[in-house]
A and B are shown apart, each in its own frame.
Chain A
Amino acid sequence: MFPLAFVFVAGLWEAYKSVGPEAGGKVLGIRLLPRTADRAMPHVWDMTSRLGRPEVRGGTEAIWQVVAAATWYSFRVALVAFVIGALLGIGVAVLMARFKVIERAVMPYLVVSQTVPIIVLGPLIIGLMAYGSRDLVSKTWIAAIILGVFLAFFPVAVATLRGLQSTPPASLELMESLAAPWWRTLVKLRFPAAIPFIAPALRLAGAAAVVGVVVAEISLGVPGGVGRLILSYGQDASSDPPKLYTAVFGAAVLGLAMALLVVAIDRQLMRRHPPEAT
């Protein structure tokens, strides 16, 4: 159904372009309709063909190669951020499950993190990092990882804790009757029982890592990343509109690739669990 959906969207896009107003339009006095001039909404064909042409006039590489390389770069960065964030999240959740004091202390902040737009702290973290070490300034991709970790950590921590705490009491009593120590119970019972909670959170974390990395790349112009391309192509947007969209395709592919990865992880983790009713 995926390809059909995209064809449908492309069709809508072109259809609107042919009938919509050039300078954007008003519905009930509100400027609701987007601009249809080629500058604002390039033709679908223009966007796809732009992929084949070189990045800069007279350059040798086709732009899709540039975008693909940048996407791959950003993907690896996001992947690292995702893994670190997930491991940290799980680790903190285990600590919280073990020590009630830690749980009580940290829990409100975890809850708040889910409701407050922490993405706004992006520039701050980057600035902090720059202060922390002079040579880190040059390695801006570290900032991207840090931001990705920051955003991925919270959903994993919240969900893992909830999963660890929702072990069926009957099973816990069984382990107690077998005189199993806490860490053994964790490994053999709580953790496996928490997988159905952790798996969906990993999906969110994957997407969050991508967002963090892309935002960092855009704000810092991290060389080699797809965010940097969006930034620089965006500046050319008035002269070469489809160029920007090629970078956007790259970012979309990045997001989708991560989504596919986390879905695969999800399936692998859940293969032994009974199918969910939902």
Chain B
Amino acid sequence: MEAVRVAGVSKVFNQGAVNQVDALVDIDLDVRKGEFVSLIGPSGCGKSTLLRLIADLIQPTTGEVTVNGKSAHQARLDQDYGMAFQQSGLFDWRTVERNIELPLELKGWDKPKRRARSAEMLTLVKLTEFSQHMPWQLSGGMQQRVAIARALAAHPELLLMDEPFGALDEMTREHMQAELLRICRETGTTVVFVTHSIPEAVYLADRVVVMSPRPGRITATVDVGLGRDRNELTREATEFYDRVTEVREALRGTHVGDVVAGLEDR
């Protein structure tokens, strides 16, 4: 059973109206358990829409989304996934610890269980000393780590992330990417990760799904194949650059031969 299965899905906004938008057309995507999949594409390609369809925050116009063998709707009700956004969305009025406990509170866990779990998550994201801090006392990167801890608090099997590192500077970003990989390896979580950044997509994922806009669809899939043990050296490896180039070309919609021909035409 796949962790996520998207079958024949399309999403149309404002159907029939003058501002109708074909956000997604004919999407088929399977994500295996424990797999890390990146979604990448230019603005308007529908990658965030696809993520929200998986999360059941919006519903497909046609087709079906299944998560863990259930409908996406049921999966949301059963809280089978955790989600992280570009803004950390932390509650300013709660401590870091209580922010992480939020999904557990909503599930009705009692206090000792919640405290124990949030302590566990804080250790996981290496922020134990900050448990009593307030979000506005933390840096952007740290806030996102708390958001990830919160997303994983209920030990979901699936993690959905919408450009969570988009607002961070490059150095912090790379550091956060390494941390995220470590955490996901340790917990064995399946991840669907939306990003704008080609190196980020390649560094993190087992598979990079390339999308293009108007209408939004999947144009290519690149198997990264860099193995599970990635580190800073990976970023400097030749295979890494090759994959990045492959993704870049897929985004451009061209192959090497076409590029040379194109140059001659100019």
In the complex they form, do A and B come into direct contact, defined as C-beta atoms under 8 angstroms apart? no
* Interface positions of B (Cβ within 8 A of A): none
